[in-house]
Structure 1
Protein backbone atom coordinates (compact mmCIF):
# COMPACT_ATOMS: atom_id res chain seq x y z
CA UNK A 1 0.00 0.00 0.00
CA UNK A 2 1.28 3.42 -0.95
CA UNK A 3 1.49 5.58 2.21
CA UNK A 4 0.91 8.67 0.09
CA UNK A 5 -2.27 7.32 -1.38
CA UNK A 6 -4.58 6.84 1.66
CA UNK A 7 -8.30 7.10 1.14
CA UNK A 8 -10.61 9.18 3.31
CA UNK A 9 -12.11 6.00 4.78
CA UNK A 10 -8.69 4.70 5.83
CA UNK A 11 -7.84 8.02 7.40
CA UNK A 12 -10.87 7.66 9.73
CA UNK A 13 -9.58 4.32 11.09
CA UNK A 14 -7.67 4.12 14.37
CA UNK A 15 -4.31 2.44 14.41
CA UNK A 16 -4.07 -1.16 15.70
CA UNK A 17 -3.45 -1.46 19.44
CA UNK A 18 0.07 -2.35 20.46
CA UNK A 19 1.36 -3.93 23.65
CA UNK A 20 4.55 -2.01 23.33
CA UNK A 21 7.30 -3.32 25.62
CA UNK A 22 5.05 -4.51 28.51
CA UNK A 23 2.57 -7.21 27.52
CA UNK A 24 1.28 -7.45 31.13
CA UNK A 25 0.55 -4.27 33.10
CA UNK A 26 3.02 -3.49 35.90
CA UNK A 27 0.35 -3.59 38.69
CA UNK A 28 -0.60 -7.15 37.65
CA UNK A 29 3.04 -8.23 37.66
CA UNK A 30 3.46 -6.78 41.16
CA UNK A 31 0.36 -8.62 42.38
CA UNK A 32 1.54 -11.97 40.94
CA UNK A 33 5.03 -11.55 42.38
CA UNK A 34 3.55 -10.68 45.79
CA UNK A 35 1.36 -13.81 45.74
CA UNK A 36 4.30 -16.04 44.82
CA UNK A 37 6.49 -14.56 47.57
CA UNK A 38 3.68 -14.91 50.12
CA UNK A 39 3.09 -18.54 49.07
CA UNK A 40 6.77 -19.43 49.48
CA UNK A 41 6.91 -17.69 52.87
CA UNK A 42 3.71 -19.41 54.04
CA UNK A 43 4.97 -22.89 53.09
CA UNK A 44 8.37 -22.34 54.72
CA UNK A 45 6.88 -20.82 57.89
CA UNK A 46 4.14 -23.42 58.42
CA UNK A 47 4.82 -26.46 60.59
CA UNK A 48 2.83 -29.46 59.35
CA UNK A 49 3.78 -31.45 62.47
CA UNK A 50 1.70 -29.18 64.71
CA UNK A 51 -1.29 -28.76 62.39
CA UNK A 52 -4.33 -30.13 64.26
CA UNK A 53 -5.64 -33.38 62.71
CA UNK A 54 -9.18 -32.00 62.62
CA UNK A 55 -8.06 -29.67 59.83
CA UNK A 56 -7.71 -32.71 57.58
CA UNK A 57 -9.27 -36.16 57.46
CA UNK A 58 -7.99 -37.17 60.91
CA UNK A 59 -5.07 -39.28 59.72
CA UNK A 60 -1.70 -38.87 61.36
CA UNK A 61 1.77 -39.51 59.96
CA UNK A 62 1.69 -42.93 61.60
CA UNK A 63 -1.45 -43.78 59.60
CA UNK A 64 0.24 -42.74 56.36
CA UNK A 65 3.45 -44.68 56.88
CA UNK A 66 3.79 -47.86 54.82
CA UNK A 67 3.16 -50.96 56.86
CA UNK A 68 5.43 -53.95 56.63
CA UNK A 69 3.96 -57.04 55.02
CA UNK A 70 2.84 -59.59 57.61
CA UNK A 71 5.17 -62.51 58.18
CA UNK A 72 3.99 -65.88 56.83
CA UNK A 73 1.53 -67.35 59.29
CA UNK A 74 0.98 -64.01 61.07
CA UNK A 75 -2.54 -62.71 61.62
CA UNK A 76 -3.78 -60.42 58.83
CA UNK A 77 -4.90 -56.87 59.56
CA UNK A 78 -8.66 -56.83 58.98
CA UNK A 79 -8.77 -53.07 59.53
CA UNK A 80 -6.28 -52.47 56.70
CA UNK A 81 -8.26 -54.72 54.35
CA UNK A 82 -11.46 -52.89 55.32
CA UNK A 83 -9.81 -49.52 54.63
CA UNK A 84 -8.60 -50.69 51.23
CA UNK A 85 -11.71 -52.55 50.05
CA UNK A 86 -14.82 -51.54 52.00
CA UNK A 87 -14.54 -48.03 53.42
CA UNK A 88 -15.60 -46.24 50.22
CA UNK A 89 -19.11 -47.69 50.49
CA UNK A 90 -19.59 -48.60 54.15
CA UNK A 91 -17.57 -45.59 55.45
CA UNK A 92 -14.91 -45.50 58.15
CA UNK A 93 -17.54 -45.45 60.88
CA UNK A 94 -19.42 -48.44 59.43
CA UNK A 95 -22.57 -46.34 58.97
CA UNK A 96 -22.81 -46.79 55.19
CA UNK A 97 -24.62 -44.26 53.02
CA UNK A 98 -28.37 -43.70 53.54
CA UNK A 99 -30.56 -45.47 50.97
CA UNK A 100 -27.52 -46.70 49.05
CA UNK A 101 -25.03 -48.72 51.11
CA UNK A 102 -26.17 -50.37 54.35
CA UNK A 103 -24.55 -49.88 57.74
CA UNK A 104 -22.39 -52.64 59.20
CA UNK A 105 -22.80 -51.56 62.83
CA UNK A 106 -25.70 -53.56 64.29
CA UNK A 107 -26.36 -55.31 60.97
CA UNK A 108 -27.96 -58.73 61.34
CA UNK A 109 -26.06 -59.86 58.23
CA UNK A 110 -22.72 -59.00 59.85
CA UNK A 111 -23.40 -60.41 63.30
CA UNK A 112 -25.32 -63.47 62.14
CA UNK A 113 -23.93 -66.84 61.12
CA UNK A 114 -20.22 -66.62 60.26
CA UNK A 115 -20.73 -68.62 57.07
CA UNK A 116 -23.36 -66.08 55.94
CA UNK A 117 -21.00 -63.09 56.02
CA UNK A 118 -18.37 -65.25 54.32
CA UNK A 119 -20.77 -66.02 51.46
CA UNK A 120 -21.76 -62.36 51.15
CA UNK A 121 -18.15 -61.16 50.92
CA UNK A 122 -17.25 -63.96 48.51
CA UNK A 123 -20.03 -63.32 46.00
CA UNK A 124 -21.39 -59.83 46.74
CA UNK A 125 -25.01 -58.73 46.71
CA UNK A 126 -27.25 -57.16 44.11
CA UNK A 127 -30.85 -56.14 44.58
CA UNK A 128 -32.88 -55.12 47.61
CA UNK A 129 -31.34 -56.03 50.96
CA UNK A 130 -33.08 -55.14 54.22
CA UNK A 131 -30.76 -54.11 57.06
CA UNK A 132 -32.15 -53.11 60.46
CA UNK A 133 -35.60 -52.70 58.92
CA UNK A 134 -34.45 -50.42 56.08
CA UNK A 135 -34.27 -51.55 52.45
CA UNK A 136 -31.11 -50.78 50.48
CA UNK A 137 -30.78 -51.22 46.76
CA UNK A 138 -27.06 -50.79 46.16
CA UNK A 139 -24.65 -53.33 44.74
CA UNK A 140 -21.76 -55.00 46.52
CA UNK A 141 -19.04 -56.50 44.32
CA UNK A 142 -17.78 -60.06 44.83
CA UNK A 143 -14.35 -60.47 46.42
CA UNK A 144 -13.80 -64.17 45.78
CA UNK A 145 -11.19 -63.44 43.09
CA UNK A 146 -9.57 -60.50 44.91
CA UNK A 147 -9.15 -61.83 48.45
CA UNK A 148 -8.06 -65.22 49.70
CA UNK A 149 -9.79 -67.12 52.51
CA UNK A 150 -7.56 -65.70 55.26
CA UNK A 151 -8.09 -62.12 54.05
CA UNK A 152 -11.87 -62.54 53.90
CA UNK A 153 -11.82 -64.09 57.37
CA UNK A 154 -9.75 -61.17 58.69
CA UNK A 155 -12.02 -58.44 57.33
CA UNK A 156 -15.19 -60.30 58.34
CA UNK A 157 -13.83 -60.76 61.86
CA UNK A 158 -12.93 -57.07 61.99
CA UNK A 159 -16.42 -55.81 61.11
CA UNK A 160 -18.00 -58.30 63.53
CA UNK A 161 -16.12 -56.57 66.40
CA UNK A 162 -16.56 -52.91 65.39
CA UNK A 163 -19.26 -50.24 65.81
CA UNK A 164 -21.00 -51.98 68.68
CA UNK A 165 -20.89 -55.45 67.11
CA UNK A 166 -19.80 -58.28 69.40
CA UNK A 167 -19.93 -61.39 67.22
CA UNK A 168 -17.23 -64.08 67.34
CA UNK A 169 -14.50 -64.03 64.67
CA UNK A 170 -14.73 -65.87 61.38
CA UNK A 171 -12.08 -68.50 60.70
CA UNK A 172 -10.40 -69.04 57.34
CA UNK A 173 -11.74 -72.61 57.43
CA UNK A 174 -15.31 -71.26 57.46
CA UNK A 175 -14.56 -69.07 54.45
CA UNK A 176 -12.91 -71.99 52.65
CA UNK A 177 -15.97 -74.17 53.29
CA UNK A 178 -18.30 -71.40 52.04
CA UNK A 179 -16.15 -70.96 48.94
CA UNK A 180 -16.27 -74.70 48.21
CA UNK A 181 -20.01 -74.90 48.84
CA UNK A 182 -20.77 -72.02 46.47
CA UNK A 183 -18.01 -72.61 43.92
CA UNK A 184 -20.49 -72.95 41.06
CA UNK A 185 -22.00 -69.53 41.74
CA UNK A 186 -21.19 -66.97 39.04
CA UNK A 187 -23.30 -63.97 40.08
CA UNK A 188 -23.94 -61.93 43.24
CA UNK A 189 -26.65 -62.96 45.70
CA UNK A 190 -30.07 -61.48 44.87
CA UNK A 191 -30.51 -59.58 48.13
CA UNK A 192 -33.32 -60.64 50.47
CA UNK A 193 -34.72 -63.00 47.84
CA UNK A 194 -31.81 -65.42 48.30
CA UNK A 195 -30.13 -64.46 51.54
CA UNK A 196 -33.14 -64.27 53.88
CA UNK A 197 -33.42 -68.07 53.93
CA UNK A 198 -29.77 -68.39 55.05
CA UNK A 199 -30.10 -66.28 58.22
Structure 2
Protein backbone atom coordinates (compact mmCIF):
# COMPACT_ATOMS: atom_id res chain seq x y z
CA UNK A 1 0.00 0.00 0.00
CA UNK A 2 3.09 2.19 0.19
CA UNK A 3 1.93 4.31 3.12
CA UNK A 4 -1.47 5.17 1.61
CA UNK A 5 -3.45 5.79 4.79
CA UNK A 6 -6.81 6.20 3.10
CA UNK A 7 -6.40 2.88 1.33
CA UNK A 8 -5.35 1.21 4.56
CA UNK A 9 -8.41 2.60 6.37
CA UNK A 10 -10.63 1.31 3.57
CA UNK A 11 -9.04 -2.14 3.53
CA UNK A 12 -9.16 -2.28 7.34
CA UNK A 13 -12.94 -2.27 7.13
CA UNK A 14 -12.77 -5.47 5.05
CA UNK A 15 -11.79 -7.82 7.86
CA UNK A 16 -11.26 -11.00 5.83
CA UNK A 17 -8.77 -9.63 3.21
CA UNK A 18 -6.91 -7.67 5.88
CA UNK A 19 -6.37 -10.76 8.02
CA UNK A 20 -4.19 -12.15 5.24
CA UNK A 21 -2.41 -8.82 4.68
CA UNK A 22 -1.49 -8.61 8.38
CA UNK A 23 0.76 -11.64 8.14
CA UNK A 24 2.37 -11.22 4.74
CA UNK A 25 6.15 -10.90 4.46
CA UNK A 26 7.95 -9.65 1.35
CA UNK A 27 11.09 -11.19 -0.15
CA UNK A 28 13.26 -9.12 2.20
CA UNK A 29 11.43 -10.32 5.30
CA UNK A 30 9.60 -7.03 5.84
CA UNK A 31 6.24 -7.01 7.56
CA UNK A 32 3.47 -4.50 6.97
CA UNK A 33 4.86 -2.51 9.89
CA UNK A 34 8.31 -2.37 8.25
CA UNK A 35 6.75 -0.73 5.19
CA UNK A 36 5.02 1.83 7.41
CA UNK A 37 8.33 2.60 9.13
CA UNK A 38 10.16 3.09 5.83
CA UNK A 39 10.06 6.66 4.48
CA UNK A 40 10.95 5.73 0.91
CA UNK A 41 7.45 6.59 -0.31
CA UNK A 42 6.88 9.47 2.14
CA UNK A 43 5.20 12.44 0.46
CA UNK A 44 4.89 14.78 3.41
CA UNK A 45 2.39 14.89 6.23
CA UNK A 46 -0.98 16.58 6.45
CA UNK A 47 -0.07 18.61 9.56
CA UNK A 48 1.99 21.83 9.62
CA UNK A 49 5.49 21.86 11.08
CA UNK A 50 8.09 19.09 11.48
CA UNK A 51 7.05 18.29 15.07
CA UNK A 52 3.41 17.62 14.20
CA UNK A 53 4.42 15.71 11.07
CA UNK A 54 6.60 13.43 13.20
CA UNK A 55 3.69 13.00 15.59
CA UNK A 56 1.53 12.00 12.64
CA UNK A 57 4.12 9.39 11.62
CA UNK A 58 4.23 7.97 15.15
CA UNK A 59 0.44 7.78 15.27
CA UNK A 60 0.34 6.06 11.87
CA UNK A 61 2.95 3.54 13.02
CA UNK A 62 0.97 2.84 16.20
CA UNK A 63 -2.28 2.48 14.29
CA UNK A 64 -0.84 -0.23 12.04
CA UNK A 65 0.93 -1.93 14.96
CA UNK A 66 -2.43 -2.42 16.65
CA UNK A 67 -3.80 -4.54 13.79
CA UNK A 68 -0.85 -6.86 13.14
CA UNK A 69 0.03 -9.95 15.23
CA UNK A 70 1.85 -8.81 18.37
CA UNK A 71 5.00 -10.85 17.68
CA UNK A 72 5.36 -9.19 14.25
CA UNK A 73 6.29 -5.93 15.98
CA UNK A 74 9.58 -7.47 17.11
CA UNK A 75 10.16 -9.59 14.02
CA UNK A 76 13.44 -8.65 12.27
CA UNK A 77 13.74 -8.52 8.49
CA UNK A 78 16.58 -10.06 6.48
CA UNK A 79 18.86 -7.20 7.57
CA UNK A 80 18.14 -7.94 11.23
CA UNK A 81 16.08 -4.77 11.74
CA UNK A 82 12.77 -4.71 13.54
CA UNK A 83 10.09 -2.26 12.42
CA UNK A 84 10.96 0.02 15.34
CA UNK A 85 14.65 -0.05 14.37
CA UNK A 86 13.77 0.87 10.80
CA UNK A 87 11.44 3.63 11.98
CA UNK A 88 14.15 5.27 14.09
CA UNK A 89 16.68 4.98 11.28
CA UNK A 90 14.45 6.29 8.49
CA UNK A 91 13.00 9.11 10.60
CA UNK A 92 16.33 10.32 11.95
CA UNK A 93 16.41 13.44 9.75
CA UNK A 94 12.76 14.20 10.45
CA UNK A 95 13.46 13.91 14.18
CA UNK A 96 16.37 16.34 13.91
CA UNK A 97 14.19 18.83 12.01
CA UNK A 98 11.41 18.44 14.57
CA UNK A 99 13.83 18.99 17.45
CA UNK A 100 15.25 22.12 15.83
CA UNK A 101 11.81 23.49 15.01
CA UNK A 102 10.30 22.94 18.45
CA UNK A 103 13.36 24.39 20.21
CA UNK A 104 13.30 27.55 18.07
CA UNK A 105 9.52 27.90 18.43
CA UNK A 106 9.67 27.37 22.18
CA UNK A 107 12.45 29.91 22.62
CA UNK A 108 10.55 32.52 20.61
CA UNK A 109 7.32 31.93 22.53
CA UNK A 110 9.17 32.02 25.85
CA UNK A 111 10.53 35.43 24.93
CA UNK A 112 7.06 36.71 24.05
CA UNK A 113 5.57 35.32 27.27
CA UNK A 114 8.38 36.91 29.30
CA UNK A 115 7.69 40.28 27.66
CA UNK A 116 3.93 40.10 28.12
CA UNK A 117 4.06 39.34 31.85
CA UNK A 118 5.70 42.67 32.91
CA UNK A 119 3.32 44.64 30.70
CA UNK A 120 0.28 42.99 32.26
CA UNK A 121 1.76 43.36 35.75
CA UNK A 122 2.33 47.08 35.18
CA UNK A 123 -1.21 47.48 33.85
CA UNK A 124 -2.54 46.16 37.14
CA UNK A 125 -1.14 49.27 38.87
CA UNK A 126 -2.53 51.65 36.24
CA UNK A 127 -6.08 52.33 37.41
CA UNK A 128 -8.42 53.27 34.54
CA UNK A 129 -9.90 56.72 35.11
CA UNK A 130 -7.52 57.48 37.96
CA UNK A 131 -8.26 57.64 41.69
CA UNK A 132 -9.87 60.15 44.00
CA UNK A 133 -8.09 61.98 46.82
CA UNK A 134 -8.52 58.96 49.08
CA UNK A 135 -6.89 56.62 46.58
CA UNK A 136 -10.19 54.98 45.65
CA UNK A 137 -10.57 54.23 41.91
CA UNK A 138 -13.09 56.58 40.30
CA UNK A 139 -14.63 53.76 38.28
CA UNK A 140 -14.68 51.14 41.03
CA UNK A 141 -18.47 50.85 40.81
CA UNK A 142 -18.44 50.52 37.04
CA UNK A 143 -18.88 47.03 35.54
CA UNK A 144 -16.09 47.90 33.09
CA UNK A 145 -13.68 48.26 35.99
CA UNK A 146 -14.47 44.71 37.09
CA UNK A 147 -14.00 43.47 33.53
CA UNK A 148 -10.63 45.23 33.33
CA UNK A 149 -9.49 43.77 36.65
CA UNK A 150 -10.56 40.20 35.84
CA UNK A 151 -9.07 40.29 32.34
CA UNK A 152 -5.80 41.72 33.64
CA UNK A 153 -5.47 39.03 36.34
CA UNK A 154 -6.40 36.32 33.84
CA UNK A 155 -3.87 37.67 31.34
CA UNK A 156 -1.13 37.72 33.97
CA UNK A 157 -1.90 34.17 35.05
CA UNK A 158 -1.99 33.00 31.42
CA UNK A 159 1.34 34.63 30.54
CA UNK A 160 3.06 33.10 33.57
CA UNK A 161 1.53 29.69 32.86
CA UNK A 162 2.63 29.78 29.22
CA UNK A 163 6.13 30.81 30.29
CA UNK A 164 6.35 27.84 32.68
CA UNK A 165 5.08 25.47 29.98
CA UNK A 166 7.59 26.71 27.40
CA UNK A 167 10.44 26.53 29.91
CA UNK A 168 9.47 22.94 30.70
CA UNK A 169 9.61 22.23 26.97
CA UNK A 170 13.13 23.61 26.77
CA UNK A 171 14.24 21.19 29.49
CA UNK A 172 12.82 18.16 27.65
CA UNK A 173 15.11 15.50 26.20
CA UNK A 174 13.35 15.76 22.80
CA UNK A 175 13.46 12.00 22.30
CA UNK A 176 11.44 10.55 19.45
CA UNK A 177 8.79 8.99 21.71
CA UNK A 178 8.07 12.39 23.31
CA UNK A 179 6.81 13.70 19.96
CA UNK A 180 3.98 11.19 20.06
CA UNK A 181 1.92 12.95 22.74
CA UNK A 182 3.93 14.82 25.36
CA UNK A 183 5.68 17.58 23.38
CA UNK A 184 2.82 18.43 20.96
CA UNK A 185 0.38 18.57 23.88
CA UNK A 186 2.63 20.87 25.91
CA UNK A 187 3.17 23.05 22.84
CA UNK A 188 -0.59 23.34 22.30
CA UNK A 189 -1.13 24.24 25.97
CA UNK A 190 1.62 26.86 25.77
CA UNK A 191 0.17 28.39 22.59
CA UNK A 192 -3.31 28.48 24.12
CA UNK A 193 -2.26 30.29 27.30
CA UNK A 194 -0.02 32.65 25.34
CA UNK A 195 -2.98 33.56 23.13
CA UNK A 196 -5.15 34.30 26.17
CA UNK A 197 -2.30 36.31 27.69
CA UNK A 198 -1.86 38.48 24.59
CA UNK A 199 -5.53 39.07 23.83
CA UNK A 200 -6.42 41.13 26.95
CA UNK A 201 -3.20 43.13 26.57
CA UNK A 202 -4.12 44.31 23.08
CA UNK A 203 -7.71 44.79 24.18
CA UNK A 204 -6.62 47.04 27.05
CA UNK A 205 -4.28 49.02 24.81
CA UNK A 206 -7.19 49.93 22.53
CA UNK A 207 -9.25 51.39 25.35
Structure whose alpha-carbon radius of gyration is higher: 1
* TM-score above 0.5: no
TM tier relative to shorter chain? under 0.3
Structure having the higher strand fraction is 1
**TM-score of the superposition, structure 1-length normalised?**
0.21
**TM-score of the superposition, structure 2-length normalised?**
0.21
